[in-house]
Each structure stands twice: as C-alpha cells, then as structure tokens.
Structure 1
Amino acid sequence: MRPMNDFTHGGHIRRLSEAAGCNRGELVDFSANINPLGLPDWFRGLIASELSGLTHYPDPYCGELTQSAAERFGVAAEEVIAGNGSTEILYALCPALNIRRAIVPVPSYTDYRRACELSGVDVEAFVLDEAAGFAVDFDALAEWLESGGSEDCAVFLGQPNNPTGACFDPDELRTLAERFSETWFVVDEAFADFVPGLDRLASSRPANVIVLYSLTKFYAVPGLRLGLGFAASDVAKTITGRIPPWSVNGLAQAVGCRALEDSEYALRTVQAVEALRDELQASLSALPGLTVFPGTANFLLCRIDRTDLDASTLAERLLEQWIAIRVCQSFDGLDDRFFRVAVRPAHENAQLICALEQVFAVSSVANGPVLHLKKRRTPALMVQGCSSNAGKSVLAAALCRILLQDGYDVAPFKSQNMSLNSFVTRDGGEMGRAQVTQAQACRLDPDVRMNPVLLKPSSDVGSQVIIMGQPIGNMKVKEYVRYKPEAFARAKQAYDSLAAEHEVMVLEGAGSPAEVNLKRHDIVNMAMARYANAGVLLAGDIDRGGVFASFVGTMELLSEWERALVRGFVVNNFRGDASLLDEALTITTDRTGVPFAGVVHHLTDLGLPEEDSVSFKSGVLDRLPSAERVVDIAVVDVPHISNFTDLDALLGEPDVHLRVVRRVADLGSPHAVILPGSKNVVADMHFLRETGMAQALLDLATQGETEIVGICGGFQMLGRTISDPLGLESGGELAGLGLLPLATELAPEKTLIRARATHLGTGEALHGYEIHHGRTIPLGATPKICVMRSDGEPLGYEDASGLVWGSYLHGLFDADVFRRRFVDQLRKRSGQEPLGRVVMAYDLESALDRLADAVRSSLDMKSVYRMSGL
C-alpha cells in the first residue's frame, strides 16, 4: 500500500483510492463530512443552465449571493463576505484584523492553527476536557484570556466542533464576547445546518464575533468551493479586501443563491442525518473496545480502547476493503487512538459496520470470543433500460444463466411488472412471464416472490393489481399511486426473503428510471436498486436510434444518488462491426463518467417468451411466406391481448407461417385462425364486431376450410354469450361469435391453476396453466369436450366438425407431439403430406444457453461481476 503525503484533511479521493488500489468511484469515503443525501436534485440542471454564462466574468462583488445570504440570516448585505470556501475567508482573517495572539480550543479543525501560523500569529492550544465530552468551559476560557491579554487576540471555535461534534451555548459565547470586546471571536458554523433548531450566531452576534459558514458540506459541493462569512460591515469590508477578485466563480454563485432558498432539501437532510447518525452511533457503540462520542452533526468521533489496535492500523485494514476513515492524531489534543467517521447513506454505514466487525473480531481473538459478524447484503446486479423494450428482460435472463453456469446460486427479481403475459406457479400464484423465464435460466421453480407486484392493464387508465400472486382488485392510476407505499413494502419483504436463500440476485427494472413524472413514487427502478444495494447496468436499444443521446439524457435526469448506482452502459441489439462505435462510446463515457460494459449484437430467433405486447404489436411475429413455410396460421390482434406467449412454440415450427392480423383485409383464407387470450373480453368482443373481424371469422367458419381455435379469452368469444354481472370489465351481457354453444359468466374469483390435460381427439398429453375469471358452461346441444384436465374437469370444447374449438389451457401448443399433430392436420387438410414426426423441440434450456453464450462474449464479465459486488 502506497504511503500518503502529509495532507491530513479528509476526502483526498485520488490518494486514498490509489492507496486502496481501486477506482475513485469504488471507494466508500467516511473521511470527509459531506451530506449523505448528496447533491440536491436541482443541482445538475442549474449547472447546465449556467454553463453559457462562463463566457463572461463572474460578479466580483457576488451581489446576488450576498443578498440571498443576508435575507436567509436576517442581516445586512454589507455584513456578508463571500469566498472560495470558508477556508479562504479564514486565511484572510488574521492579516486583515492584525491579530497577534490566537487561542484555539482543541481538538478542533487543524486549519485554524495553520491559518494563524502562516500570518505569524502565536497559537495557544486551550485543551478541552475529554471527560466532559470536549465541552467548552467558558469560565476557564475567560481566565485564559485575562491571564494572557485579550487585545489583538482571536478565539477560534467550531459550532459544532470538528472533530468532536460538540456544540456550545451561543448565549455563553455572546456574554463572553461582550465581556472581552477587544477580542475577536471567530465561530465556524460549517456544520451548523446539520443541527436542528440551533441558535445561529450568523444571525445574531456581537460586533467582535465573526462567523464562518460553509455551503460545501451541507449541499455536498466541496469540489465547487463556496463559503460565506458574517461580520460587522466595516470588518466584512476589511476582510473582503484581502480576498482576490473573482474568487467565487459564476457557477458557485448561482448554486449558492439556489441553495440558500432550498428549505425542503435542508429539512430532509436534518431529518435523514439525525436518523442515520443515531443508527450508526448505536452500531459503533456495540463494538467491544470502542468509545463513541455523541455528536450533533454528520460525523462521529471514536476512540479505540484496546492495546492491540490503533486508528492508523484500523484505517489501513479498512482501506484494504476500499473504505476510508479519518485518523485524528493530527488534531491537537488527540492521539492515534482516535478516528472520525462521516454519516453516510444507510447501506454504506452498514458496509462500514460489517468491515469494522471483521477487523475487531480478528484483533480480539486472543482477548476474547470472536464477534458474531452481521450477514452481508446479498450481492446484486440490476438491469435497467433507457426505455421500454430495451432488452432488459432478455439481458437479465442471460445474466441469470451466466451466473448459474459460473457456479452461483442465483435468483431473479422484479418488484413490479406491468404485463398481460402471466404465469401460474405450482402453488397457484400469478406472476410475470419474464421472471418465469429468468427463473428457468436459474433452474429454479417460479416463485411469486420473484415478481411480488404484477399489474395487468384492463383499460387505458386502470389495471388489475396482483400482490404476491393473488389479485386484490382493480385500481385506476391515482388509486394505485396511493397504494404504492404498501406495494413497495410487500416487494421489499419478498426481496429480503428471496435474497436470504441465494448467493446473488439479478434484478430487472421497468421502462426508464428517468421518467420525471414517475420518479417520486418509483418502486421498481432506482428505489429498488438502492434498497438491494445493486449495481445498475443501463441498457439502450441502438436499433431504435438515438441510443447515445438516451444514455446521456437519462443520466442528466437522474438524481445524484441515482447516478451513483449506475455502474455501466450496455448497447443492445447492434448490427455490424462494434469497433465502429468506439468513438461514440468514448464520448458518452467522457460526458457521463460511466463506462460501457459491452455491446450486445442483434440476436435472432431467441425462442424466448416476450414480456409484454410491445414486440407482438410491433410485428415481431410477422414473417414473409416462403417455400418452406407452407402452413398459414393467422393470429387476431385484439386490443387487450394477453398471454400471446401461447404462440411461441408455433413460431419455431419450420413449416409454419405465423402472422398477426389487425384488419379484415389482411385475414384472407388461412389454414387456421387463433383467437388469443384477452384481459378484457367484453371490450375485445366489441372490437371484433366494430372492425368487421367477427363477421369475417363467421364467414371462414361457414366455408369449413379454416380451423378456428380460441385460447382462454378467445375461447370465451367463440361461445354464444358473455356476461359480466359484477362489472369486472365493462358490465352487462353481450353476444359472442356463437360458433360454440357455450355461455360464459365473469366471476370475481380468479382461477389460477397449473394443469396437466389430454387432447381427447389425439390422445396427446398437454401441460400449461389456467388464468381466468370466467366460468364457461355448455348450452342445449352440448358441444363435444376436446380438452380434459387430469382431474376430469373439461378445459375445452369443439363443434361437430372439429374445426372450431377452444380451451382455457395456456401453453396449449408447448407439447411437442401435440403441436406437430396439430400442424400436420392442417397440412393434410390442405392437401399436403404430413411430416409425421417432431421436427422442432420447444426447448428453452438450449435457447437460454445460446443467449448466455452470446451475451457473455459481448460483455466485460469481470467488470460486471465487480458491479454486482461479487
């Protein structure tokens, strides 16, 4: 490990990361006391809007900034000093005020002494009593002033103190300042914003009190450098005269004005820091041989009370784990037993505690029992996208299979899924189809915990809400937004339960994380990534165009804490020579600071189920006929189509031309028509009539040459009537196509069953699942049962000719032998020779392995593993 130089201030990221052997972004920095909430949400947009102004000189007098500060603290603008950080004002103080003697209660910020010494000022250390919690004894300080002379003297005090975090009573300081009116009292309120309800000396101070105020800590902009001072107007003018012109740049001035107005961010910070500090203090105090001094700001001072460990050694061991703390022996009055830690976000605080437990446990083997270590958060990686249909589901499935191939016990997770493609688990729970595929990639049985919240749109403004596999009702958008906190709580419970059983988790996001109208109540993208402490891979589909603008734009719209979670970009669906993208990749990384994990090429004929109807409706099933594809099967596209994955197995048959039909003019005379599932059967039945598709299907049935098959909702439409007495969809009763003598009534109880069945006409075994609200019964001239569940329950009926039939069984064509019998029957009816053998096995296993091989070769998997914490 490389030695560091004598710059002892915390936050020297470059040197710390070099010593740790990691990238700067990988270092968890507890050495600098910066707001754990990070930059305010408005920061990036404000900086962008002010960039053009950099072509002009900034206001040398910082007029708007000093006026904003004056209004914030209730003082005159002439009493405000602006500087390039409060440290610049501190260093201008001594020469400006002709100070000859300085008293510094210690321990305290080391630059008080350094600023004085650079001006030739004698510095006297007034040692604070550790046993009294480092509180300032103002009576003793008064005696010190009387004994040494108070003229041309300055006393430097932190409020609260750095590094102890202790505050003093402002009224005691005011009384002392009035008593010693010829003495300067410099009060550093750099961390005062973190202390709720503190009586601020910046607002009310005697004439011989000068207050320093840093905006860099509280607003998380130490790299921007911005500080203020408050003093009597003549004093402020004298100090300002010692500061170079244009010291505060234009960006810093703009940020300062906006920050001083942001009361909402300030309130959130105070509340968050207090909770985080209390939790961190309790966890630190539980470590044997460690004393934690109670603090009021965003940091804590600690003392090691052991003979086998000192702060320098501890810092070295933590740095090996890429964690930096502040060793405090450079503070007057402290030795190598002391260190300071900033209050960071909860997951980083937990990481620190876990690392400290390991160090303390190793060090205490000879002195006592080894400390029981906290369980580490399960490593996690999340795939998000710049847009919907960017390939998130497929990439997540690929990563699941890659991790499995590499020997990891991996599981998928998506907190909330909006999809009409669902699946029924072994125990009767309903979940999104994409997570079922990902579960298979992990060779796990599908589990509703993998997709605890499922939304199935039933109209343009509402969805059926399914929690942990069971429907709880239909909700419109605003109603669901109000319910979201409860949904998120259930999702987090599901994640914790699932993650506890596996070595690594692969999460999937939804849509885009940069949807500014949705971010406030997000439960599936960055909020879930933060909860899982997951590194985020952001994927963009280059085939859509504008992918690099999408990467940059997405990052620009993310909050700083969200940006910090994005560890890499993935260009998806690329066709051609990837080296042609090198310049674009470099420019994008330079603009965002995020590296590319790889470029995934366009993958054809994956043979994997699609998550939603986007691909279906964009024509992914449409194929040009060919000499080999001699069986023509038309799929009617209804507005509320669901579970169109029932068609995936047919899509792979080499002699089948599967096409999506949206208009009567495109229907023609196919060998078969399939009416797929529907989430709103009533509305889709109206659609068939209004577009003329219903009559066209009746005409085909009359001609007797086309086989018409209905699955689930499509099966219900083949009947005579569909009634909705409870208004689950649209209410009322309407006529179906009347091709089968059946009546369907929609019921509130939802059937969710994994099923095995038999097709009675061929005797072939079937397997799949049922998801439906309806109960369908035969009428009058009873139709013939064509699909029978293994328990004897009818699952499908057909007419006398066998050309019109339907079933509630999803996955009807997944069984290879039955599917081939069905296709061969269509060949035979059209005068073609049946093939008589299975020519395509519907096998997701081989498809998943092919996918994993393709993605593995496209991504830098070593970097991806690091992103996940493995």
Structure 2
Amino acid sequence: MNTDTQQKIEGKEHFHGSDLEKIEKYFGIPKEQITGFGANVNPLGISDKMRKGLKEHIDVVTTYPDPEYTELRKHISDYTGCRPEEVLVGNGCTELISLFIQINHPKKALIVSPTYSEYEREVRLNGGEVDYYALQESNDFQLDVKDFCNTLEREGADLCVICNPNNPTSTATAPSEMRKILSRCRELGIFVMIDETYAEFAPVSTSISSVGLLSEFENFTIMRGISKFFAAPGLRLGYAMTSNLTLLQKIQEDKNPWTINSLAEVAGAYMFHDQEYINRTRDLISSERKRIYEELKTWKHVKVYEPHANFILVRILKEGVTSYDVFVHCIKRGLMLRDCSTFPGLEDETFFRFCFMMPEKNTELLECLREILE
C-alpha cells in the first residue's frame, strides 16, 4: 500500500455499503477486488431465470410498459400472498417511502432507531418533525412493544416507521407483537410504515412478515424491494402493500406514470416465481447465519445479537479497538464491512455490521476479524 493511501487510512472517513467507487478512490484498492460485506445483497447474484428472461425479452424497451402494471402486481400478489389490488409498484423503495410520506404529510413521525436514514430525510423534506424511539442495547435491541405503545400515546405522532427486520440490528418483531402496535396506532389515528426489505431473509420457521395483517388493518403499509433478496438494485423496482385502497388510489392519481421501466416489469414475471432460486437463497443465508452467530458467540471480545436478516450486528468489547479500526483492518484485505458509528444511537464506535456472503468468503472475514479482535 502506498504512502498516500496509508496517510488517508490514518484519517477517518465513513462509507456506506454501496460506496465501492469511493473506497477505490480513497484507499487505492480496485473495486473489483473488494467483497462488499456492507451492502446486504444476496451473494448468489440475480436469478438465472430472470437473466434468461431479460435476454429473451430485451425488445420490450421499444414499448411503454402497462401504466397499471397489472401483470407485475399479479406476480407480486402470488409471491407475497396479498391481493393484487393491494399492491403499488414504484421506482425502488425510496420512491414509495417518499410517495406515502407526501400523501400522509405527517406533522410528526416516530421512528424506531437505530435505522435507515431515508425515513427521517423524507419526513423533514415534507415539513414534518422527527422523534426517535431508541432500541436498547440492554434489551439486545429487541423492541419493547408495551413501552413503545405507551410512547406512541405520549409523543403525539401521526406516523410511525418500523424497519422489520431492522437495519442495522437484524432484530425482528413477530406479527403477534406487530398486531398490538397496529391496534394501538389505529386507536390513536397513527399511520404505520413497515419496511420489510429484509423480511424474505428471515428464518422460514419464524415468519416475521406483517402481510397476514393486511386483512385486519388499513392503517399501515408494507414496503419491500428487490435490491437485497433478488440482488437487483439496478432495476429500481420496489413495491408497497396496503389494504387502504382509498389511499392507494390517491397515490396512483398523484404519482408520475411509468416510473417502472419495461425490463423491471419483465423481471418480475421470472424472479418472483423462481422457487429454486428463492429456496437456495434461504438455505444459504439460514446456514451461514447460524454458523457465524454460533461462532461469534464464543469470542471473548465481542458481543453479538441474534440475527433475523442476512446480516449481523457486532459490538466490540476489546479495549482500544474501534469500529473504524476494524473497518480499516478488513478493507486492507479487500473485505468491506459497515462501520455503524454513523447510525443514531451507535455513535460510540463499538459497533459494526456485515452481511453473509458465500461460505468461503465468510470464513475469510471471520479469520480477518479474529486477528484484530481475538
């Protein structure tokens, strides 16, 4: 490593999971040589059926997509178990988060944290205030539902945002507990946004999705995308599910047409029905999640929290070692994890997060972490 690069490493710069170009420039490491443990993307890559389908239907770019996206919504309905009329598609989850916040125009939002920063950004852009409900490390970052419901009443919020499983803690709230939250929010006139970006990675035996609650409650929406589980962030396809059809109709009337391109529309016909790919993904993540969690639990100088998504949060207990130290130690080997000190509530520089890649790469990362932490 050259002198300039070493001097840059001695400073502090924070990087997100998709900042490979920035890493390349900052550290002088070709991005092709970096394994992105910070991006939380399925290590299998895209579905083979989808790849083949896109090649065979490349000519769809010569026509406009169906403005109602009828077939695409049907595929999503088949995949998730909701009704087609309860589905709204958008240009990634980011657009959908923005649309729902614009329409609901919350005066005050209560966001469960630490979590994804886009929620706060959108609320503030629309003139709303933001308060955080902090998950407690003493409770292993599990949501205390009873206390949370009491807080909702005190805060006077009209929007509640919950990421489930949560990023970066990888903790999850069961549907039975989410029902209590939705019921209390309905009594208080609060709309709930549940981000299930990582729900498909959760253990099959422990379903955490709230899709089954759509028939009971109209005061919430579920957000999902294809960037992580289906490894296709470049297609920019997201979808929301809600049984509040009046709200959906209003959003449809206000949103721009054709925000989903023709290729993304075609992709849905293949990836949502590629059961072999879906099963392989779940088996891989389930196996590696268990292996890595059990391994890290034996280490003296770290604390880990039981993961439900495709990533794990780790707390450093070794004196004199920070999350930035760990990040730099790993990036020198071309292994990029996430320093979590930029997340509200994790600023003490003792937390880092990494996702589960292929087994051999996961083992390589564990060996690298052992060098600095054990």
- Normalised by the size of structure 1, how large is the TM-score? 0.40
* CA–CA separation in structure 1 for the residues paired with 2:84 and 2:235: 23
| Alignment equivalent of 1:348, drawn from 318, 341, 361 | 361
* 2:144 corresponds to 1:147: no
The answer as to 2:261 corresponding to 1:249 is yes
2-structure distance, mates of 1:85, 1:54:
19
Q: Which amino acid aligns with 1:80?
A: V
Match of 2:225 among 214, 217, 220: 214
How many angstroms does 1:169 deviate by? 2.0
Shift of 1:189: 0.8
CA distance in structure 1 between the aligned counterparts of 2:335 and 2:271, rounded to whole angstroms? 29
- 2:138 matched to 1:131? yes
Q: After TM superposition, give the deviation of residue 264 of structure 1 in Å.
A: 2.2
Contact 2:14 2:339 in 1 (8 A): no
| Residues 450-483 of structure 1, C-alpha deviations (whole Å, 9 max, x = no match) | xxxxxxxxxxxxxxxxxxxxxxxxxxxxxxxxxx
| Whole-angstrom CA distance in 1 between matches of 2:37 and 2:23 | 11
- 1:158 aligned onto 2:167: no
**Over the residues paired in the alignment, what is the CA RMSD in angstroms?**
2.1
How far apart in 2 are the matches of 1:134 and 1:95?
30
Alpha-carbon distance in 1 for matches of 2:51, 2:198? 23
5 Å-filtered alignment, 1:840-855, equals: none
Distance 1:11 1:5, change over 3 A: farther
Partner of 1:266: 278
Shift of 1:103: 0.5
Q: What per-residue deviation string (whole Å, max 9, x for no partner) do you get for residues 682-710 of structure 1?
A: xxxxxxxxxxxxxxxxxxxxxxxxxxxxx
Native 8 Å contact 1:89 1:243 kept in 2: no
Residue 319 of structure 2: SS of its match in structure 1?
coil
Contact 1:28 1:324 in 2 (8 A): yes
CA contact 2:179–2:213 (8 Å) conserved in 1: no
1:200 partner letter? S
CA distance in 1, matches of 2:129, 2:68: 32
Contact in 2 for aligned 1:19/1:319 (Cα 8 Å)? no
1:492-571 matches, within 5 Å, as: none
Cα separation, 1, equivalents of 2:295 and 2:80: 36
Q: How do 1:89-100 and structure 2 match up within 5 A?
A: 89-100=96-107
More strand by share: 1
| 1:257 match: secondary structure | helix
1:129-163 deviations in Å (ceiling 9; x for gaps): 1111111112111211211225xx11111111111
Alpha-carbon displacement from aligned partner over 1:584-619 (angstroms, at most 9, x marks no partner):
xxxxxxxxxxxxxxxxxxxxxxxxxxxxxxxxxxxx
Q: Is the 1:69–1:77 Cα contact (8 Å) retained in structure 2? A: yes
Higher relative contact order (CA 8 A, sep 6+): 2
In structure 2, C-alpha distance between the alignment counterparts of 1:46 and 1:279, rounded to whole Å: 34
More helix by share: 2
Q: Is the 8 A contact 1:20 1:322 kept in 2?
A: no
1:77 and 1:270 mapped to 2: Cα distance? 25
- Write the distance in 2 (CA, Å) between the matches of 1:97 and 1:6: 36
| Offset of residue 330 of structure 1 | 1.6
User: Which residue of the other structure, out of 211, 215, 218, is the alignment partner of 1:202?
Assistant: 211
- Contact kept? 1:108, 1:163, Cα under 8 Å: yes
**C-alpha distance after superposition, 1:48-96 (max 9, x if no partner):** 1121111222223222111211233333322111011112101222111
Task: Provide the residue aligned with 1:328 in structure 2.
Answer: 340
Residue 124 of structure 1: how far off its partner (Å) = 0.5
> Percent identity at matched positions?
27
Q: Secondary structure at the match of 1:223?
A: helix
Letter in structure 2 aligned against 1:279 = R
Q: What is the one-letter code of the residue matched to 1:312? A: Y
| Letter of the structure 1 residue corresponding to residue 211 of structure 2 | A
In structure 2, relative to structure 1, the CA distance for the partners of 1:234 and 1:257 (3 Å cut) is: farther
Q: Does 1:225 align with 2:230?
A: no
CA contact (8 A) 1:83 1:228 kept: yes
| 1:740-779 paired onto structure 2 within 5 Å | none
Aligned counterpart in structure 2 of residue 54 of structure 1, from 51, 55, 61: 61
Contact 1:83 1:243 in 2 (8 A): no
CA distance in 2, matches of 1:136, 1:49: 46
Calculate the TM-score normalised by the size of structure 2. 0.90
The alignment partner of 1:339 has SS state of strand
Between the aligned partners of 1:202 and 1:214, the Cα distance in structure 2 is 15
Q: How big is the shift at 1:272? A: 1.3
Which structure would you say has the larger Rg?
1
Mapped to 1, the partners of 2:171 and 2:99 lie a distance apart of 26
Cα distance change of structure 1 residues 73 and 207 upon mapping to structure 2, 3 Å threshold: same
For 1:134, give the aligned amino acid: F
> SS at 2:211's partner residue?
coil
SS of residue in 2 equivalent to 1:246: coil
C-alpha deviation, 1:37, in angstroms: 2.1
Unaligned runs of 5+ in 1: 361-370, 372-870
**Paired residue for 2:112, among 92, 105, 109?**
105
SS in 2 for 1:180: helix
**Alpha-carbon deviations, 1:621-647, whole Å to 9, x = none?**
xxxxxxxxxxxxxxxxxxxxxxxxxxx
Q: What is aligned with 1:276? A: 288
Runs of 4+ more than 6 Å apart: 3-7
Contact kept? 2:178, 2:210, Cα under 8 Å? no
**C-alpha distance in structure 2 between counterparts of 1:40 and 1:169, whole Å:** 29
Look up the match of 1:339.
352
Matches within 5 A, 1:452-471: none
Contact 1:90 1:112 in 2 (8 A): yes
Tell me what 1:21 maps to. 28
Alignment of 1:120 with 2:127, yes or no, is yes
| Residue identity matched to 1:310 | T
Q: How far has the Cα of 1:275 moved from its partner?
A: 0.7
* Match in the other structure for 2:52: 45
Are the counterparts in 2 of residues 104 and 156 from structure 1 also a CA contact under 8 Å?
A: yes
2: CA distance, partners of 1:88 / 1:164: 24
- Counterparts of 2:357 and 2:183, CA distance in 1: 39
Q: 1:295 to 1:201 in 2, by over 3 A?
A: same
